[in-house]
Every structure is written in structure tokens, then in C-alpha cells.
Amino acid sequence: MKLGLIGKKLPYSYSKVIHNAFGYDYEIKELQEDGFDSFMQDLPFDAFNITIPYKEKVIPYINVLSDAARVVNAVNTVVKKEGKLYGYNTDIFGLTAALKRSKIPIKGEKVLIFGGGGASKAAQFVCKTEGAEEIIVMTRTGTPNFNDLANYKNSTVIINATPVGTYPDNGKRLVDIGNFNSLKGVFDMIYNPAITDLLFQAKAKGAAYANGLFMLISQASYAKDLFFNTPHDGNCENKVYADLAFKATNIVLIGMPSTGKSTVGRHLSRILDVNFIDTDNEIEKKEGKSIPEIFEQRGEAYFRGLERSVVDEVSKERGQVIATGGGAPLFFDNYFKLKQNGILIHLTRPPETVTRRGRPLLTDTEAFNRLYAERMPKYAAIADFTISNTTPPFVTAKRITDLLNK
């Protein structure tokens, strides 16, 4: 049985990984729009999934549409049966499961949906089915549009069904929800990065929030059932989600200079068999100079600009160990970038063991003590975990992996 996914641009798709985790072969096929009709005529797949921009374009080829696909007017799963094509929309099942899992309420809520495409239509269907009190669809050019955002600040739930902020345009802001003081939950269908700007805003407001990864996995699980005509069993979804989320997460080591971030990070990357990035080393490679030389010749402001550029670049990628310079995560822009795909682990070490040689901001004991007192509470505030690095580096790295596995 030949299975796969078609779409126009699929270089970052997780679908193959997900379906392979379910236990079968699955192919990714990028398809330009001028080749869509010939693909549907030749039909090399026995069953397949569909993503942008073909969810609506495929409908004329479908012999039997499910009720949900008909209402939503979008198909993301096609199965060939006895010479006929059956079209389904499993996004609605995936979104329903993801909202429930993340405890984002829909029944009785005022839901604001961003976007007007197929994903938005699936969200509208789910919200209507789940008993939302009111559903408002906001697009760039329609009515209402994003210029009218202030009129809907009493919305209690937001669902983003646009691609704004997805990789590689990480951090791009769709809207400012600072005035949405009644928010209970925000769901962003984007899953790369793990925390978009919209979700970061939701987190800051204390609202429930979730990205689209579990939705993606759950809708794939429902598609699997349609492929093989089997009853739905959601038990495998949590394991696939946990494995994929962990593999896509950056482990970011933060802390004072000379606390062992680089050494522990190298051990950690070997244990996990992932790439290791030291942001200070990346800065030195870019500039062709040591960090003390950069400070001496160009000053701290210039160094911080280089640092921001490097952090922006490396934090977009996923599944790495990243060791940061001491000051890097304390700037909000850097913190947001590191956090979008990362777990931040604060490495500590007794101050008397810190080496100050080659550290431009730690030139003497007084400067070090002042910086230590200033930074330690900030590290504690932004870290997900704090680990004392008083054991051999390999042992510290193993303790981190044990902690994360729990």
C-alpha cells in the first residue's frame, strides 16, 4: 500500500516522521500547482494526505465526501476504495483532541479565529460543534480584519489558523494581544517553532496555550485509521508526541561565565547524539577574533549585536544542545528566541571556583561580585531547571538527561 503527503512546499514537514512512527512507510511528495491535475489523473498513491494549497482544489476529483469535509469544504485525507476516491477532513478531529488535551475551553466561549483558509474552516467547524457562544473570523482583508482587533479584545479564546510566525520566519508578530484581558486560552496551529510570538504573549498573560504539534499527530492518527480501515485508538498519540517534542527541543545551558556550560554541553550532545552549539564560539568564528579582542577593539555594544545575530540564527533550528554566553539570555529578545524551541537549564557553581581569566566583564573581584549578585536572580527567573555543576561534567550531563526523561 503506497501512502504519502502532497503539498507545494514540504521541506520542514513532520508528517513522514509521524507516520513512520505509527509503523508504516510514508512518502513526502512536493507538487507544483501546474502538476496537480496530472497527479490526480495518474494517482500513484493508494491513500494520501493533502496540505496547502490543495485541500480545496482536490474536491472536484472526490467521488464521496465525508459530512465534515463537505461542511468545511476542505479535504486533507483521500482514500481509494473500489475505484472511487473518498475524501475526509481529519483536521477537525486533531484540533478537537488538541484543544481538550491543552484544556483550552470552547463551550460557551467567545472564540476569535485568525485566518480564512481551510485550517480556519476546520477550526470554525470544531468551535460550532463544541458549542462556542460566538465565533469571529478575522482575516487581513475581510470584515473584520486585523485593523479591527481592538473591537474584539473581550474574546476569551484565540485560534491562529494562519502561517504567520512559522519557521523560518520565527518571531514574526501577527497581532498584539496585550489588551485581551479576558483570555482563557490561545491555540496556534503552528508547530515549528514550539512557542510562537502569539503563544509567548499568551504565556505572559497566564492563559492556557498550545501549539499545533499534537493536532498534527492526532489528525495523522485519524488518517491512519482511514488508510487501513481500523477503529481509532489514541493511545499511540501521546508517545509519538512525547518522542517528537523531545527530539525537536533545544537544551539551552545558561549561567555565569565559567560554570561549565560548554564542557557539560559537549557531554550532553554526545549522550543525546545531537549537534552542539556554543554561541561564544560562533561569534568568534564569525568575527575571526576572540571575545576579549572584540570587547577591546569594538566594545560591548558591538559584541551584543553579534550575539543577538548568532542567537537568532541558532535558536531557529531544533534538537540541539546550546551553550550561551553569560549575558545572552538576560536580554529579552535573546530569551524569547532561545525559549521558542528550548528548555533553559541554569548551571550553577560556587562563585569561588569561577575562573575570570579571558572574561571581559569579570576583570576583578569587585566586578565579579557585582555581576554575580545582579545576574543570579535573573537566571533563576527565566530557567526551567537549575542544576548545580559540582560533579564531573559527564555526571552533570547525565543528571540533566535523567531530569528531562522524567
User: What is the total count of domains within the chain?
Assistant: 3
Q: Residues near 395 by Cβ (< 8 Å), separated by ≥ 6?
A: none
Same-domain pairing of 260 and 160: no
DSSP string covering 272-325: HT-EEEEHHHHHHHHHTS-HHHHHHHH-HHHHHHHHHHHHHHHHHS-SEEEEPP
Q: Are 260 and 389 in contact (CB under 8 A)?
A: yes
Q: Residue 72: is it exposed, middle or buried by C-beta count within 10 angstroms (0-12/13-18/19+)?
A: buried
Alpha-carbon dihedral sign for residues 296, 300, 301, 307: positive
Residue 358: what pLDDT? 57
Same-domain pairing of 391 and 254: yes
Same-domain pairing of 71 and 201: no
Same-domain pairing of 238 and 276: no
Q: Residues near 180 by Cβ (< 8 Å), separated by ≥ 6?
A: 153, 154, 155, 158, 205
Among candidate residues 217, 161, 165, 164, the one with its CA nearest the CA of residue 186? 161
Instruction: Give the whole-angstrom CA distance, residue 364 versus residue 384.
Output: 30
Same-domain pairing of 335 and 254: yes
Same-domain pairing of 367 and 332: yes
DSSP string covering 362-405: -SSHHHHHHHHHHHHHHHHHH-SEEEE--S-HHHHHHHHHHHHH
Instruction: Summarize pLDDT for 241-260 with one digit per residue, the tens.
Output: 999 999 999 999 999 988 99
**CATH number for the domain that contains residue 388:** 3.40.50.300
Q: Are 109 and 132 in contact (CB under 8 A)?
A: yes
Ranges of the chain whose pLDDT falls below 70: 354-363
Q: How far is CA 61 from the centre of its chain?
A: 34
Residue 353: what pLDDT? 72
Same-domain pairing of 254 and 384: yes
Return the H-helix or E-strand segment holding 136: strand 134-138
- Catalytic choice (29, 55, 247, 289): 55
Please confirm, yes or no, whether 261 is among the known catalytic residues. Answer: no
**CATH number for the domain that contains residue 178:** 3.40.50.720
> For residues 274-299, b (16+ Cβ closer than 10 Å) or e, as one string?
bebbbbbebbbeebeeebeebbeeee
Residue 332: what pLDDT? 95
Instruction: Give the whole-angstrom CA distance, residue 314 versus residue 325.
Output: 13
Q: Which residue has the cell 512559522?
A: 166
Same-domain pairing of 314 and 177: no
Same-domain pairing of 124 and 76: no
Q: Taking the model in full, what pTM does it have? A: 0.92
Residue 357: what pLDDT? 62
What type of residue sits at position 307? E
Same-domain pairing of 202 and 292: no
> For residues 239-259, b (16+ Cβ closer than 10 Å) or e, as one string?
ebbeebeeebbbbbbbbbbbb
Strands 275-278 and 320-323, sheet pairing: parallel
Same-domain pairing of 82 and 199: no
Same-domain pairing of 241 and 254: no
Residue 363: what pLDDT? 64
What type of residue sits at position 48? F
Q: Which domain holds residue 52?
A: 3-89+216-245
